Amino acid sequence: MQTLNVLDNRFSSFSTLSTSPADELAAKQTYEALFSADRTLSLVELFNTTLDLASLLNNFSIEATRYLDFSGLFFKSYSVNIALDGSKKAKYEHRFDLKISDTYIGTLTYAINTPMSLINIQILDKLHQCLSYPLKNAISYYDAIQLAMQDALTGLGNRRYFDEQLKRAMHNANRHHSVVGLVLGDLNKFKAINDNYGHAVGDQVLIEFSNILRLCIRDSDSLFRFGGDEFAILIENANESAINLIEHRVSNALHENILLSKYNLGCSLGATLMNRADSEQSIFARADRALYRKKAYTAQHLSVI
């Protein structure tokens, strides 16, 4: 993806506030020439070359910086919140609600250091018209990808998404000399709940446990369900204290939750911290072994009781 650096782009004199009638006439004539039918079609074709939201908005920003000096570009819709690489805040913000007919697509926000002129706004409105349908298609594609990465029952990330996020997190950790923590967990004797109470109750238990996990992690951590009663927590910028805190919170939450206490439900967790020699496979295998040891200990402890 091309990195946005709008400060290095040239922009036209449209970004100043024109007061001269001659300037206004010249701007109007240039504006009409810019957005002929052929020019509009070519812009739509350009924006339609990708379904990737970041790439689409970057292509759009390159065009927009021809007419407006801005330091940041931000887009937000019901399902998407994205800032282009290199975006910075500025003295002013100007927001445009993008619509097709009366259907809201999202809000595009420009960070600018001087107020927009009328011709700025008119040009951006035209550019937004060229962007609207390609942007709608890109959002639909993004939403479909997100659904494909989610567990349908709990809304957590699925195994495919976990594999992608683990790879990304470890790459970033190596670059920034930080550490990734991985916690694997499953519910103790969950099969007995399905067998004794039915799968509807089992599903309710899984949803409740997922909600507990959401409350036990930091905003920067990620949750996944692999299927059945198997879960994973990916912890970025991790250390032993962060892992221990999560394990402590999960244990307390299980005891305090009315539904899960009713079924005497427990959870085994196996955790590990990344080292520089790790691959995605090795860190996962180590966490899995830790989980196996914890389950074996729990089973032995319960049998003694």
Q: For every residue of 182-222, which 3-state class applies, written as one string?
A: EEEEEEECHHHHHHHHCHHHHHHHHHHHHHHHHHHCCCCCE
Burial grade of 256 (CB within 10 A; 0-12, 13-18, 19 or more): exposed
R_g over Cα of the chain: 26
Contact by Cβ (8 Å): 207, 196: no
**Residue 235 to residue 208: CA distance in whole angstroms:** 21
- Is the Cβ–Cβ distance between 243 and 183 less than 8 Å? yes
Q: Which of 210, 12, 279, 25 is nearest to 123 (CA)?
A: 12
Q: In the structure encoding, which two tokens stand for residue 266, read together?
A: 């427990």
Q: Is 151 a catalytic residue?
A: no
- The token pair at 198 is 């039915």
**CA-to-CA dists, residue 73 to 139, 192, 299, angstroms:** 17, 53, 55
258: nearest Cα among 221, 301, 211: 211
Catalytic residue (choose from 69, 151, 221, 229):
229
Q: Which of 103, 117, 161 is nearest to 15 (CA)?
A: 117
Q: Which residues are annotated as catalytic?
A: 229
